């Protein structure tokens, strides 16, 4: 199946925010969906999505929203996933394919296995590696996934044809799709995404508690703004990610704490050589992989 072979008569997105809304816009741009249905808890938010042309219509009830859909995308916070899965299951059509956009996969797969039962074969776990610090359907845009990565983490029960269909959907949206084992995904994302967000939140929180915080933020340079941009992300969403991927998070956080302690000792001991070695290795590594 190629990217251009994807089409959907009715695609339902549960959670029409930045990611869900941007996917709807990207698929609408590609003209591959006859109808896009939205679902969520906030009716005013869904009305706004209709006004913006992101979705065609909406339903407040999850089972009604997925009725007749051939593709269902779950774009809700991780801790809402099990509730949505339970609510929507009675309305699922026989030929549906279900996917999600959660930043942690182990917890989602566990919940899907418990709720979907024999229909687990219809589920293709996924994670688009794209986003901004903004949230809500107003922040969505069709180009969000252009050239960006999407990781699919199919499990042993996942139907191979349905996995290919979700791959094709993301390719139509402009993304580059790879596959990865669930556990490996959670370990990699803990290090490359979840830890940086935790550090950004923690740094800004520390500085906010200082007596001189007004001057600190007033004179913050570009480096500070670049490093802490992601601290403007949705706190509840990132709480869920940290809690749901806590084992991998704790492992990489312990590693970081150990390295930070060594750097602290080097500064205290006036060991400039040790400090420059850390900085040089970091610069060379980032230049090699991000240059």
Burial class (CB within 10 angstroms; exposed 0-12, middle 13-18, buried 19+) of 123: buried
This model's pTM is above 0.85: yes
* CATH code assigned to 3-180: 3.40.50.720
Query: What sign does the CA torsion over 58, 62, 67, 72 have?
Result: positive
* CATH code assigned to 185-290: 1.10.3660.10
In order along its 291 residues, the chain shows pLDDT tens digits of 444 589 999 999 999 999 999 999 999 999 999 999 999 999 999 999 999 999 999 999 999 999 999 999 999 999 999 999 999 999 999 999 999 999 999 999 999 999 999 999 999 999 999 888 888 999 999 999 999 999 999 999 999 999 999 999 999 999 999 999 999 999 999 999 999 999 999 999 998 888 777 788 888 778 888 889 999 988 988 999 999 999 999 999 999 999 999 999 999 999 999 999 999 999 999 999 886
pLDDT digits (tens, 9 = 90+) for 66-98: 999 999 999 999 999 999 999 999 999 999 999
Q: Do domains 3-180 and 185-290 have the same CATH topology?
A: no
User: How far is Cα 86 from Cα 61, in angstroms, rounded to an integer?
Assistant: 12
Query: What pLDDT score was predicted for residue 157?
Result: 97
Listed by start position, the domains of the chain span 3-180, 185-290
Burial class (CB within 10 angstroms; exposed 0-12, middle 13-18, buried 19+) of 52: middle
């Amino acid at each position: 199946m190629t990217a251009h072979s994807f089409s959907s008569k009715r695609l339902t997105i549960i959670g029409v925010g930045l990611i869900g809304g941007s996917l709807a816009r990207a698929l609408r741009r590609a003209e591959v969906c006859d109808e896009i249905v939205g679902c969520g808890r906030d009716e005013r938010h869904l009305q706004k999505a209709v006004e913006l042309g992101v979705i065609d219509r909406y339903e407040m009830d999850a089972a009604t929203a997925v009725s007749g859909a051939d593709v269902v995308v779950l774009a809700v916070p991780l801790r809402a996933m099990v509730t949505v899965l339970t609510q929507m299951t009675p309305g699922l059509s026989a030929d549906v394919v279900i996917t999600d956009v959660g930043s942690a996969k182990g917890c989602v797969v566990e919940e899907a296995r418990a709720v979907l039962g024999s229909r687990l074969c219809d589920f293709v776990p996924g994670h688009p590696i794209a986003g901004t610090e903004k949230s809500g359907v107003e922040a969505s845009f069709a180009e969000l996934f252009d050239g960006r990565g999407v990781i699919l983490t199919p499990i042993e029960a996942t139907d191979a044809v349905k996995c290919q269909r979700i791959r094709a959907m993301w390719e139509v949206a402009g993304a580059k799709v790879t596959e990865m084992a669930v556990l490996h995904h959670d370990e990699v994302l803990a290090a490359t995404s979840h830890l940086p967000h935790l550090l950004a939140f923690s740094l800004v929180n520390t500085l906010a508690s200082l007596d001189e915080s007004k001057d600190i933020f007033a004179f913050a340079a570009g480096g500070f703004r670049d490093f802490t941009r992601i601290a403007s992300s949705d706190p509840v969403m990132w709480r869920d990610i940290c809690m749901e991927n806590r084992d991998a998070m704790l492992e990489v956080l312990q590693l970081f704490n150990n390295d930070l302690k060594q750097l602290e000792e080097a500064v205290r001991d006036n060991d400039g050589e040790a400090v420059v070695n850390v900085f040089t290795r970091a610069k060379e590594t980032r230049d090699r992989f991000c240059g």
